[in-house]
Structure 1
Amino acid sequence: MPLIIVAIAIVVLLLLIMGLKLNTFVSLIIVSFGSALALGMPLDKIVKTIEEGLGGTLGHIALIFGLGAMLGKLIADSGGAQRIAMTLVNKFGEKNIQWAVVIASFIIGVALFFEVGLVLLIPIIFAISKELKISILFLGIPMVAALSVTHGFLPPHPGPTAIAGEYGADIGEVLLYGFIVAIPTVLIAGPLFTKFTKKITPQVFMKTGNITSLGEHKTFKLEDTPSFGISVFTALLPVIIMSISTIMTLLQETLGLAENGELAVIQFIGNASTSMVISLLVAIYTMGIARKIPIKTVMDSCSAAISQIGMMLLIIGGGGAFKQVLINGGVGDYVAELFKGTSMSPILLAWMIAAILRISLGSATVAALSTTGLVIPMLGSDVNLALVVLATGAGSVIASHVNDAGFWMFKEYFGLSMKETFATWTLLESVISVAGLGFILLISLFV
């Protein structure tokens, strides 16, 4: 019965979002209440459970997510992202233009959320395509591959950050292993997949696309933007700080070093929240004050960033509420009992559940958070939690189709038909998911 109730809940969620066009957050809360009642939870526990799930999820990620949005906005509004993209394009030249786009999109994707990075980079891609007289999809596929991979695997993006909090995994470790997985996955899903797509659907590379819906794109004279080095350093600073802390912690555990004041300071600075605060303060200086931009203008960018992610935060909270209902309602324990004695890896199981939910629900973040509610009871002490986080993230990006906003954005911007979007975007997301899982399983053999 519990699994039938979950299946019905997912169908109802789909009907509310796609059929009745209800807001995703409102739909999640309605389904959470309905599922709690159907699972037979005591009436006096239902509201507390939903509040616990919503508050627990947001309590962990709101600070990181909010500061990350501000950091990305400052880099975009100052012209730092444009400087990174154009410098790499100029350095690599026409012959290696794809690699320039991949590297630029990856660096920008670390700092900016998927939709923001897409809207920021597409006009640049169109301009380069027009100037060099090459297909927009030849550049567009590697661009969205890099943005999608960073969105699915690397904190401070909402999915991996929220999942790490639910599983109790160390964000620095998730980031470190995430990079090891992300880099080869981008190479496979970017330049290599483009070659494959060109053979099976050559007609899509003749499309001209349409970005008029983006409105006027803010462009800068290159000399008016921050330097390339400062822009890259600012974008990657949270990654640098968290990685140093994680490496030091892993060395301490490997070498059996005792806790001391210096290590405690490094771990404090390397905490995801602390590193994001430090990175934002650095960005306020490098992207604003150092360039004689009034502090009010800089703060306006920060305020705009927060207003843009408000609904996303609520949706993540709604996903956390649904997750908590699944746990407190006994669904997680039921699934754990179902798989008791199975030899299947928790990593593979997390990926499978996330993939099924992603195909059903559309939202990668909601699918990932719902997966945690089913997987947490099955996790033993010998499981590497960082790899389970990444496997859940990998499963949650598979087979994006008509119930995902990314599908429609890609279709409209690149001027594709439904069939062509399935053959490019949907297949691309599936390649990212499967390749990511492959590298995660490979890492699990060594850690």
Structure 2
Amino acid sequence: MLLTTFTIDPHSLFLLVSALAAVIGLILLIAVFKLNPFITLLLASLGLAMVTGMQPSTIIHSFEAGVGATLGHIAVVVALGTMLGKMMAESGGADQIAYTLIRLFGEKRVHWAMVIIGLVVGLPAFFEVGFVLLIPIAYTVARRTKTSLIMVGLPMVAGLSVVHGLVPPHPAALLAVTIYKADVGRTIFYALLVGLPTAVIAGPIYAKFIAPRIQLPTENSISAQFVDHGSERSLPGFWLTVFSILLPVLLMLIGSWADAIATPKSALNEALHLAGNDDMALLIGVLVSFFTLGRLRGFTRETILRFSNECLAPTATITLLVGAGGGFGRILQDSGVSQAIIGVALQSHIPLLLLAWLLAALMRLATGSATVAMTTAAGIVAPIALHSTGVRPELLAIATGAGSLIFSHVNDGGFWLVKEYFNMSVAQTIETWSICETIISVTALLLTLALSLAL
């Protein structure tokens, strides 16, 4: 019966085929021809715009508008989040968290400690940043406990990945929250309900299954470059470090509850909303970390300035990719592709949460970037959500994030980070990291669907 009522006009079909060709072109140019992902997204956007008949005079303007609209918000979050992560690493705060949790869990349950480390440390930092900050800890823990690096490291990256894709204040999650007009505080709460069991399944449980089946080389040249940060007595206090890391998240939660705490439009209410804004919350968190993880650790103003300057360079590629993803999404909208997808989606009666997950998954497989996948899919699904009822925008943001994490492969920078630092082959990386990401994606979707039925 569904087939007899489902129709699609030739022009919409042409637009969808053109978009599919653009996605295939993205995959080929990135994975096969090894072209820079930013240039690839730009070329795919221009090619799609020309094929679908956009006016030449509007193509570049459309792409630039998409880039600007995306980066206007994201660039601030990227910069501040990276600075906070840098202070945590340089102060030894991340090491303190690791050592404390190892004492609490014991060496035999160290994989449970590592997933918690990934979840906590990943909150203010991009996946790539958090990975680079924490991999020395993984080496240290594996060395001290004589445990497989996969048993230690896979739960850590699972924790990092979960908060990267599902939990604000990560830029992609925050942008999805903005696009869907969701509440930040409720999104964080629901994302943690979904993310914690997801991280457990994809991290410690899967690591315990796969680690005995993967034989790593005995020598790891990258691991040999890292030594222990120092004795635990030289590290900052555990609770002071945790406070510094979680302060922005706490401020965002308070901001989302401002109307319940103070009379709307009052001075206190406005101040709480301002402090709870994601940019302001991260700014406050960074400034506090300059004192708690900087001055209290004996760093001079000049040293803190150097830390905050040098950590920005590695984020340039991430920022450009986010912007290019926004430009590609704008071309999808202005060329009519998004409307064609909306038309098909409304006719096919795919549940909205599943549609958000599916579109993000397709973009993730095409571009290799969870952030690009999430922002692009959210931009496509949001207009459909305006015509739909019964779906919480917070759950839409989480489902989109879940789809954006599926099956990391050779066009994803995170794939190569894990491969090289863990000293694995491509096949071993797929067996461990790629499958771990897929478990996260599918489990988070199932839990989000279950949560939608319970709410």
Q: Which residue of 2 aligns with 1:414?
A: 422
Verify the 8 A CA contact 2:419 2:425 in the aligned structure 1. Answer: yes
For 1:211-266, what per-residue CA distance to the aligned partner results, in whole angstroms no more than 9, with x for missing partners?
A: 527845672332222211111110111111112222445x579xxx7554433322
CA distance in 2, matches of 1:148, 1:43: 39
Letter in 1 for 2:276: G
Give per-residue Cα distances to partners, 1:299-324, cap 9 Å, x unaligned: 11111122221221111000000000
Q: How does 1:198-217 map to 2 (within 5 A)?
A: 202-204=212-214, 208=218, 210-212=220-222, 215-216=225-226
Alignment partners' CA distance in 2, 1:172 and 1:320: 25
Task: Determine the structure 2 residue equivalent to 1:223.
Answer: 233
Q: Which moved more, 1:279-288 or 1:221-230?
A: 221-230
**Among 391, 397, 401, the residue aligned to 1:393:** 401
Matches of 1:402 and 1:166, distance apart in 2: 29
Q: What displacement does 1:131 show?
A: 2.5
What is the Cα deviation at residue 205 of structure 1? Answer: 5.5
Match of 2:283 in 1: 277
Which amino acid in 2 is paired with 1:37? M
Stretch deviating more after TM superposition (359-368 or 54-63): 359-368
Q: How far is 1:280 from its partner?
A: 1.0
2:321 corresponds to:
315
Shift of 1:386: 2.1
Q: Structure 1: which 5+ runs fail to align? A: none
Residue in 2 that maps onto 1:3: 16
Structure 2 equivalent of residue 368 of structure 1: 374
2:374 counterpart letter in structure 1: A
CA distance in 1, matches of 2:224, 2:51: 44
Cα distance in 1 for residues equivalent to 2:270 and 2:140: 48
Give the residue type in structure 1 aligned to 2:393: L
> 2:309: which partner in 1?
303
Q: Deviations over 1:105-133 (max 9, x none)?
A: 21111122212222232232222222222
> 1-side partners of 2:221 and 2:138: how far apart?
11
Report the AA paired with residue 219 of structure 1.
Answer: H
Find 2:365's aligned residue among 338, 359, 384. 359
The residue correspondences of 1:26-425 to structure 2 (distance < 5 A) are 26-197=39-210, 202-204=212-214, 208=218, 210-212=220-222, 215-216=225-226, 219-249=229-259, 251=260, 259-380=265-386, 382=389, 383-425=391-433
Matches of 1:359 and 1:31, distance apart in 2: 15
TM-superposition CA deviations, 1:168-200 (whole Å, max 9, x none):
4343333232222211111111122223335xx
Identical-residue share of aligned pairs (%): 39
The two structures have a TM-score, normalised by structure 2, of 0.90
- Would the alpha carbon gap of residues 223 and 178 (structure 1) be closer, same or farther in structure 2, given more than 3 Å must change? same
Aligned to 2:5: none
Q: In the alignment, is the contact (CA less than 8 A) between 2:31 and 2:410 conserved in 1?
A: no
CA deviation vs aligned residue, 1:46-79 (integer Å, no higher than 9, x gap): 1221121001001122212211111111111111
CA RMSD of the aligned region, Å? 2.3
1: CA distance, partners of 2:177 / 2:299: 36
Q: Distance in 2 between matches of 1:375 and 1:388?
A: 9
8 Å Cα contact 2:67/2:324 also seen in 1: yes
Shift of 1:400: 1.2
TM-score relative to the length of structure 1: 0.92
74-83 or 164-173: which moved more? Answer: 164-173
Alpha-carbon spacing, 1:299–1:263, altered in 2? closer, same or farther (3 Å): same
- Rounded Cα–Cα distance in structure 2 between residues aligned with 1:399 and 1:147: 15
Structure 1 residue runs of 4 or more that deviate by more than 6 Å after TM superposition: none
* TM-fit CA distance, 1:444: 1.9
Q: Deviations over 1:3-45 (max 9, x none)?
A: 1111111122223323333221122112212211111112222
Q: Give the aligned partner of residue 438 of structure 2.
A: 430
